[in-house]
Amino acid sequence: MTVSLERANYFFVVFFFGEMIMKLTGYGFKYYWYINWNKFDFIVVQFSLIALNESMVDAYFNPTVLRIIRVARLLRMVKTNKGLKTLLKTLFLSIGNILNSAALLMLIFFTFTIAGMGLFGKVPDGEFIDHNVNFRSFYISMMTLFRASTGESWNGIMHDCRDATGFLAIIFWMLF
């Protein structure tokens, strides 16, 4: 498997290097640099060529960093695929709304974390409440609520809280 991945990597590096040379020859050196995608391709190809010679790279830094550059080749698909271009443009235009929603969600988590610490901070360990799931510190409280929001054992945590504090725990968890 490793040998086939290495061969595929060599093939694609040579393929992209050939494409870069053909574009440099076809467009001419001066016009080649006017197109931003060509600049991006040039950088990806250069880092890929450097990553092929791992003995040279090992002397200066970890070659794994350069291997990550290979993923950047996938970004080349954006310029040729109209649907992907439209999808990324839509995502870019909606970043403001996504950030507003994330801020609201963090505010809700923050509020319920503080309330949970006040209500359930002294709940003893039970079947679900333990040293990793409790309301004794802010960080663990936040992680407990995040875990519960994914649906993992939230009702078990609620029952442990209810056993220690009463019906108020059910109201807290239903509101959350």
How many folded domains does the chain comprise? 2
DSSP letters for the chain:
-HHHHHHHHHHHHHHHHHHHHHHHHHH-HHHHTTSHHHHHHHHHHHHHHHHH-HHHHHTTS-THHHHHGGGGGGGHHHHH-HHHHHHHHHHHHTHHHHHHHHHHHHHHHHHHHHHHHHHHTTPPP-SS-SSSS-SSSHHHHHHHHHHHHTTSSHHHHHHHHHHHH-THHHHHHHH-
- In the listed set 81, 110, 145, which residue is the last one of a domain according to the structure? 81
- Are 75 and 103 contained in the same domain? no
Structural domain boundaries, residue 76? 2-81
Determine the average pLDDT of the residues in 153-170.
Answer: 90
Band (96; pLDDT cuts 50, 70, 90): very high
**Boundary of a domain, candidates 81, 113, 130:** 81
Least confident of 18-22, 54-58, 150-154: 54-58
pTM: 0.57
Q: What is the pLDDT of residue 97?
A: 94
